[in-house]
């Protein structure tokens, strides 16, 4: 696997409850956020590289986010998913096409109906952050959807998502970036409220 995109010097402490920066509102409101997590090692890879890595044990501990093209409503053609069986047990598949907002209508989609998996993906990412798992973002060419996912995670964690946008190797899908970033923030807030409520009811000890 190629060198991590993020050196140790760039990793910032995160809230142990929501995975956001140590100064986030959730962390301030919850005394459980005493133990700092860290921005995980993260890779942006293509289908070809993923298939190569599946023949090794390098993905064993990773949390993999795998984007693929779902069947087209018009042609019923799509891309097969990468087979991670035997290589990684923590995989979240996202069937969403790499589209810009200007062409959504051509596919019978709107901003609201595009990328409906964002909330569940956000919960998956938050679990990976708390477990300090390496995160692998994969799409067909490792340039757009996967890069947008990685940028959203970085932006959510420490506000450094611009580093992905500024890297000439990547062309992050802005719809995926914005919808996932919003879902991460909203999901973290919901989890923090549930934790606070559970403590207030005495079901969780501080």
User: In the chain, where are the structural domains located?
Assistant: 39-193
The whole-number pLDDT of residue 74 equals 61
The whole-number pLDDT of residue 195 equals 81
Q: 144, 149, 113, 118: which is closest to 40 by C-alpha?
A: 149
Q: Report the distance separating Cα 93 and Cα 145, nearest Å.
A: 12
The answer to whether 42 touches 5, Cβ cutoff 8 Å, is yes
Q: 99, 101, 38: which is closest to 72 by C-alpha?
A: 99
Residue 104, CA distances (Å) to 97, 99, 116, 167 in order: 10, 7, 14, 26
How distant is the alpha carbon of residue 53 from its chain centre?
Answer: 19
DSSP structure class, residue 26: H
DSSP structure class, residue 15: -
Give pLDDT < 70 ranges for the chain: 1-40, 73-78, 202-206
What values do phi and psi take at 68, rounded to 5? -150, 160
The answer to whether 81 touches 67, Cβ cutoff 8 Å, is no
CATH class for the domain made up of 39-193: alpha beta
The whole-number pLDDT of residue 120 equals 97
Burial of 21 (0-12, 13-18, 19+ CB in 10 A): middle
The whole-number pLDDT of residue 30 equals 36
The whole-number pLDDT of residue 40 equals 65
Helix axes 174-200, 118-130, angle to 10 degrees: 60
CA angle 11, 17, 19 (to 5 degrees): 30
């Amino acid at each position: 696997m190629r060198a991590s995109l993020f050196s140790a010097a760039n990793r910032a402490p995160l809230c142990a409850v929501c995975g956001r920066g140590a100064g986030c509102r959730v962390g301030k409101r919850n005394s459980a956020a005493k133990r700092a997590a860290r921005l995980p090692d993260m890779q942006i890879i293509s289908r070809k590289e993923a298939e190569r890595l599946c023949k090794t044990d390098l993905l064993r501990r990773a949390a993999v986010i795998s984007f693929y093209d779902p069947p087209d409503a018009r042609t019923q053609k799509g891309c097969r998913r990468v087979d991670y069986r035997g290589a990684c047990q923590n995989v979240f598949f996202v069937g969403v096409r790499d589209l810009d907002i200007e062409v959504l209508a051509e596919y019978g989609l709107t901003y609201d109906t595009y990328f409906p998996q964002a909330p569940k993906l956000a919960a998956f990412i938050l679990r990976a952050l708390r477990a300090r798992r390496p995160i692998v973002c994969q799409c067909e060419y490792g340039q757009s959807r996967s890069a947008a996912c990685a940028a959203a995670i970085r932006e959510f964690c420490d506000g450094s998502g611009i580093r992905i946008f500024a890297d000439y190797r990547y062309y992050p899908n802005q719809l995926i970036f914005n919808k996932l970033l919003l879902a991460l923030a909203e999901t973290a807030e919901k989890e923090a409220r549930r934790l606070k409520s559970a403590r207030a009811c005495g079901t969780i000890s501080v």
